[in-house]
């Protein structure tokens, strides 16, 4: 039973991080209609930059228990790359989706070497910093407090994001733009500005996700391309463009993966893709998506 | 393309289409067709027939159910109740490809073309399907004289034979519309459904297009035509019978003279949408 | 360009490449083998992308199927006949492509791309995780095949690759190129273009949209698997990375680089990509970055690729003369 709960908690932690990246993918697709393959690159960048920032801050005398705020701040600071990349993507907004997808693939290639240039080919990690917050647990269930904080942080971000999209004026404008771009534009909304804001938001969700995960596992060059396929699985299961779908999809993928690793490690990714394909056959628009065609 | 000028000559018996031995046999028949979308009733108890030799117009204000009826008649939608028979086959929901094989073609309200294909290629697409040559991976389109001959023949009927090499996207709006219709004619259908063939065309050219169409139908031995049209002038001139829809029901199913003699019907059909040159 | 001139240029280029063993270094000749392998794979991929309008992000799977079929035949089963391997990999690719295609061609655009990516990764994780069957990340050994029944064990590896194997692959490229040329100009090819342009309209003109998408999918899979067979021979290994999604991305990259609107674009793309990659790799360890820059430039500025640039240059040239 305890082992089962441990697996469950591991899955939820993974789901929490995955949700952030997938939410970034969803919001960018929702408003800009671009499927961003580089979302995994933002995630990896967030992880690397988090290692560097926290290491530097600790050297400068930061008390270890304050590392989490610094880590989050490092993810948020990376927002600066959002507008730059959005400027590049702007050149293909009115083009065929294939070209948009390929431009984000070009970004994947570029980011891989940008990270290699700054951080080298070896994985980077934060030592045993996770343990500064200690552990909770009883009866064989064993959970680092850090993981609890990340799960809580993700839930908080999900709630804030949901509140922002549902309750605020700007959130309504974003949703209206996602529904009908031309109409929103005709009503005098500056859609160009919305594109910048949305893409930057998507970027930050990815970089913060990467920053969150790095104390528990090393930052590596492969994590970018590996995460993309998981994030894709999340949005296909949940439904392209749906925030609720990102949440449900992340939970499905996170828990599936944790269960598969525990039961039969070979099935790790295989099980996720099987779910993806099953969903596509049985419910082509995903759990929360609108019909594709 | 013909200019506005004199109206299309009807055949001696006053019909628009050429009459043949099987004129009068039922081509399309709907029996008590209704279509519901949840609580919304798009069509209710539609029973109509279309006989060989007839050109029938479907009219009605926006939202009367014309589009739904077109989709039902062309086998795209399943019905909630009732049957749609084409030459005795139930065609509800059979889809476009099998409909084309059975002998019904359609054109679209909005221009539907293949932008990068040339006029010749576009018509050839239909001719290949008609001749059952689509599965040939090891044949050459260019080397097939039969395809060429048919393409030229169809293009000539619509005055497109001088533009065979042009990609569809560079054609004028009127030519695009004609190409859309020409490709439907190339299937050599027995029945053709024309969904607002003159929408987006200037008033002056509308009669020209209609005349070309009727002449093409005579040349190609099309047995019956369904015309969906807003323009009451065109409806009056190019119909043997007019079916008016209102809120998903049949309001009238009458020959033009009787139809236009009833002010109540005309008001119901025209009332909600002012006719441009009333 | 007139058809006759095109034919002449093509024949000239084939003769030039074919005579490479006389004038090029062994290094460059061996470099042309993957270029031709990709050329074959991309001819297939472009039937799906350029003609039928479907962008697959999973076709590396079929390259992988070709490579692993070669490995299974030559090292596990001891069947070294290259012709048999080619036929077997084509059959294997078709056996995978039919069910996958049936599921995926119901979708278009981005959904098709994501679904093919999912299937590709399913296959990759099978290769990667089932170590005892596939050798996992170390891959599977490929033994040198016999060509037309001729064993070439007396030749060293370089002599084999730059001699008989090189010419064999060139012949395959020419034959499969001619077959594809025939296919795209067939009635079937025209129907593919029609459904790419406007699927709804095509259906009403009697085009069996899904069936033809499926056919294009299967043919493209077969071409990709044959490319994979050829790729596996010089490296001597079937590597799971061949089936990774980024490899699918590279396949599309090459197609776009050469120009997907031109029949010969993908072949030009394969040769240019291999050359570019080779030059970049010897110049810098950050070659991926520059490949990314090239791809971005192509997407933004030259969506019709090198062939598009060539075509507009020639148009300007002939306009300047007249």
Average pLDDT value for residue range C119-135? 89
Query: With an 8 Å Cβ cutoff, are C183 and B137 in contact?
Result: yes
Q: Closest Cα of chain C to A266: distance in Å?
A: 5
Say whether pLDDT at A152 is over 90: yes
| Cα torsion A262, A265, A267, A269: sign | positive
CA-based nearest residue to C169, from C237, C267, C98: C267
Angstrom distance (rounded) from CA C225 to CA C63: 5
Q: Give the lowest-confidence range in A45-54, B45-54, C253-262.
A: B45-54
Write down the residue that tokens 């949408």 correspond to. Answer: B273
The reported pLDDT for the residue numbered A289 is 72
Give the pLDDT band of residue B4 (cuts 50, 70, 90).
very low
Average pLDDT value for residue range B90-117? 90
The torsion angles phi and psi of A33, rounded to 5 degrees, stand at 60, 30
Give the pLDDT band of residue B8 (cuts 50, 70, 90).
low
Instruction: Count CA within 13 A, CB hemisphere, residue B126.
Output: 32
The reported pLDDT for the residue numbered A139 is 77
Q: Give the lowest-confidence range in A157-161, B270-274, C15-19, C185-189.
A: B270-274
Angstrom distance (rounded) from CA C260 to CA B100: 32
Angstrom distance (rounded) from CA C134 to CA C126: 8
A28, A34, A98: best to mutate for the C interface, most C CBs within 10 A: A98
Say whether pLDDT at B2 is over 60: no
The kind and range of the H/E element at A159 are helix A145-167
Angstrom distance (rounded) from CA A87 to CA C300: 12
Nearest to B129 among C189, C206, C215 (CB): C206
The reported pLDDT for the residue numbered A279 is 86
Nearest to C203 among B97, B130, B139 (CB): B97
Average pLDDT of the residues of chain C: 94
Average pLDDT value for residue range A235-254? 90
Which residues on A lie below 8 Å from C109 (Cβ)? 97-98
Average pLDDT of the residues of chain B: 87
Both tokens of residue C97?
């492509």
Which residues on C lie below 8 Å from B130 (Cβ)? 206
- pLDDT tens-place string over residues C145-167: 999 988 888 899 999 999 999 99
Neighbors of chain A by Cβ distance (3+ pairs < 8 Å): C
Angstrom distance (rounded) from CA A72 to CA A50: 8
Nearest to B115 among C183, C189, C197 (CB): C197
Average pLDDT value for residue range B20-35? 87
Q: Give the lowest-confidence range in A144-158, B264-278, C284-298.
A: B264-278
Q: Closest Cα of chain B to C155: distance in Å?
A: 39
Say whether pLDDT at B263 is over 90: no
Find the residue in B nearest to C182 (Cα). B138
The reported pLDDT for the residue numbered C1 is 65
Query: With an 8 Å Cβ cutoff, are C203 and B130 in contact?
Result: no
- Residue A214 gets the label, from left (phi > 0), alpha (psi -120 to 50) or beta, of alpha
What percentage of chain C reaches a pLDDT higher than 90? 85
Residues C175-205: b if buried by 16+ CB within 10 A, e if exposed: ebbeebeebbbbbbbbbbbbbbbbbebbbbb
Angstrom distance (rounded) from CA A220 to CA A214: 10
The kind and range of the H/E element at B202 are none
CA-based nearest residue to C48, from C299, C252, C303: C252
Ordered by start, the domain boundaries in chain C are: 27-321
Angstrom distance (rounded) from CA A109 to CA A117: 13
Both tokens of residue B179?
């190409």
User: With an 8 Å Cβ cutoff, is C183 touching chain B?
Assistant: yes
Q: Closest Cα of chain A to C105: distance in Å?
A: 12
> CB neighbours of B85 closer than 8 A, spacing ≥ 6?
B28, B29, B30, B31, B91
Contact between B252 and B244 under an 8 Å Cβ cutoff? The reply is: yes
Nearest to C55 among A101, A235, A292 (CB): A101
Which residues on C lie below 8 Å from A268 (Cβ)? 125, 129
Which residues on B lie below 8 Å from C195 (Cβ)? none
The reported pLDDT for the residue numbered A40 is 94
Contact between C36 and C227 under an 8 Å Cβ cutoff? The reply is: no
Query: With an 8 Å Cβ cutoff, are C202 and B142 in contact?
Result: no
Give the pLDDT band of residue B160 (cuts 50, 70, 90).
very high
H helices within chain B, ranges in order? 66-73, 96-102, 119-130, 145-157, 173-185, 203-219, 232-237, 256-261, 263-271
Q: Give the lowest-confidence range in A40-44, A266-270, B218-222, B234-238.
A: A266-270
Query: With an 8 Å Cβ cutoff, are C114 and A228 in contact?
Result: no
* Physical contact, B and A (3 or more Cβ pairs within 8 A): no
- pLDDT tens-place string over residues A12-30: 999 999 999 999 999 999 8
Tell me how far CA of residue A117 lies from CA of A71, A114, A221, B165, C288, in angstroms.
22, 5, 11, 53, 11
- C134 or C179, which is more confident: C179
- pLDDT tens-place string over residues C84-110: 999 999 999 999 999 999 989 988 888
Question: Could you give all domains of chain B from N- to C-terminal order, each with its CATH number?
Answer: 26-271 (3.40.50.300)
Query: With an 8 Å Cβ cutoff, are B129 and C188 in contact?
Result: no
Angstrom distance (rounded) from CA A17 to CA A209: 5
C114, C131, C258: best to mutate for the A interface, most A CBs within 10 A: C114
């Amino acid at each position: 039973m305890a082992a089962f709960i441990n697996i469950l908690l591991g899955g939820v932690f993974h789901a929490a991080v995955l949700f952030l990246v997938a939410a970034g993918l969803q919001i960018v697709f929702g408003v800009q209609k671009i499927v961003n393959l580089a979302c995994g690159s933002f995630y990896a960048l967030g992880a690397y930059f988090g290692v560097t920032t926290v290491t530097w801050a600790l050297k400068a005398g930061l008390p270890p228990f304050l590392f989490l705020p610094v880590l989050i701040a490092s993810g948020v600071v990376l927002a600066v790359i959002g507008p730059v990349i959005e400027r590049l993507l702007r050149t293909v907004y009115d083009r065929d989706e294939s070209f948009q997808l390929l431009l984000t693939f070009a970004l994947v290639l570029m980011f891989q070497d940008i990270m290699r240039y700054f951080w080298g080919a070896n994985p980077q990690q934060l030592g045993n910093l996770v343990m500064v917050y200690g552990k909770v647990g009883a009866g064989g269930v064993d959970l680092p407090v850090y993981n609890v904080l990340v799960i809580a942080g993700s839930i908080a971000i999900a709630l804030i994001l949901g509140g922002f999209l549902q309750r605020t004026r700007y959130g309504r404008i974003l949703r209206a733009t996602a529904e009908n771009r031309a109409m929103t534009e005709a009503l005098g909304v500056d859609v160009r500005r919305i594109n910048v804001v949305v893409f930057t938001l998507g970027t930050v969700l990815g970089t913060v996700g990467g920053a969150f995960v790095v104390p528990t596992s090393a930052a590596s060059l492969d994590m970018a391309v590996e995460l993309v396929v998981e994030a894709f699985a999340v949005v296909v299961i949940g439904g392209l463009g749906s925030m609720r779908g990102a949440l449900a999809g992340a939970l499905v993928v996170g828990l599936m993966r944790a269960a598969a690793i525990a039961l039969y490690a070979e099935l790790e990714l295989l099980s996720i893709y099987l779910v993806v394909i099953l969903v596509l056959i049985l419910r082509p628009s995903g759990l929360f998506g609108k019909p594709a065609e | 393309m013909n200019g506005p000028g004199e109206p299309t000559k009807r055949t001696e018996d006053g019909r628009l289409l050429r009459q043949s031995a099987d004129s009068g046999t039922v081509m399309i028949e709907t029996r008590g067709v209704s279509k519901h979308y949840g609580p919304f009733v798009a069509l209710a108890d539609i029973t109509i027939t279309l006989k060989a030799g007839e050109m029938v117009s479907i009219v009605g204000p926006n939202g009367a159910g014309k589009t739904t009826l077109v989709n039902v008649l062309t086998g795209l939608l399943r019905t909630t109740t009732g049957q749609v028979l084409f030459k005795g086959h139930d065609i509800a929901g059979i889809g476009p490809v099998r409909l084309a094989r059975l002998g019904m073609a359609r054109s679209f309200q909005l221009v539907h073309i293949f932008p990068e294909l040339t006029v010749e290629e576009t018509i050839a697409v239909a001719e290949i399907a008609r001749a059952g040559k689509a599965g040939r991976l090891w044949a050459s389109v260019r080397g097939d004289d039969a395809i060429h001959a048919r393409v030229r023949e169809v293009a000539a009927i619509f005055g497109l034979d001088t533009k065979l090499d042009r990609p569809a996207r560079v054609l004028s709006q009127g030519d695009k519309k004609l190409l859309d219709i020409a490709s439907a004619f190339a299937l050599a259908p027995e029945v053709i459904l024309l969904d607002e063939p003159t929408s987006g065309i200037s008033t002056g050219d509308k009669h020209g297009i209609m005349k070309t169409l009727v002449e093409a139908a005579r040349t190609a031995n099309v047995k019956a035509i369904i015309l969906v049209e807003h323009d009451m002038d065109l409806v009056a001139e190019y119909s043997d019978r007019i079916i008016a829809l209102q809120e998903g029901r049949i309001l009238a199913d009458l020959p033009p003279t009787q139809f236009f003699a009833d002010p109540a019907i005309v008001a119901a059909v025209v009332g909600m949408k002012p006719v441009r040159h009333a | 360009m007139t058809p006759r001139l095109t034919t002449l240029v093509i024949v000239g280029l084939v003769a030039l490449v074919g005579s490479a063993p006389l004038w090029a270094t062994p290094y460059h000749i061996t470099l042309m083998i993957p270029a031709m392998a990709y050329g074959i794979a991309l001819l297939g991929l472009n039937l799906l992308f350029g003609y039928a309008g479907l962008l697959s992000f999973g076709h590396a799977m079929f390259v992988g199927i070709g490579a692993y079929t070669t490995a299974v035949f030559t090292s596990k089963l001891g069947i070294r006949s290259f012709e048999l391997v080619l036929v077997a990999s084509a059959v294997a690719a078709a056996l995978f492509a039919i069910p996958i295609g049936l599921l995926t061609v119901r979708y278009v655009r981005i959904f098709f791309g994501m679904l093919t990516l999912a299937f590709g990764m399913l296959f990759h994780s099978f290769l990667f995780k089932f170590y005892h069957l596939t050798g996992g990340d170390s891959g599977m050994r490929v033994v040198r095949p016999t060509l037309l029944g001729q064993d070439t064990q007396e030749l060293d590896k370089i002599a084999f690759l730059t001699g008989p194997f090189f010419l064999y692959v060139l012949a395959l490229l020419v034959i499969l190129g001619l077959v594809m040329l025939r296919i795209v100009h067939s009635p079937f090819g025209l129907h593919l273009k029609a459904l790419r342009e406007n699927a709804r309209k095509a259906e009403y003109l009697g085009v069996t949209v899904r069936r033809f998408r499926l056919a294009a999918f299967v043919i493209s899979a077969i071409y990709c698997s044959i490319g994979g067979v050829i790729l596996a021979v010089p490296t001597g290994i079937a590597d799971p990375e061949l089936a990774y999604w980024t490899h699918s991305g590279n396949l599309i990259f090459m197609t776009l680089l050469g120009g997907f609107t031109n029949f010969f674009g993908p072949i030009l793309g394969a040769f240019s990509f291999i050359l570019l990659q080779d030059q970049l790799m010897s110049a810098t360890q950050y070659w991926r970055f520059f490949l990314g820059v090239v791809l971005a430039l192509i997407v933004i500025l030259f969506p019709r690729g090198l062939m598009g640039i060539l075509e507009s240059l020639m148009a300007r040239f002939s306009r300047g003369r007249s």
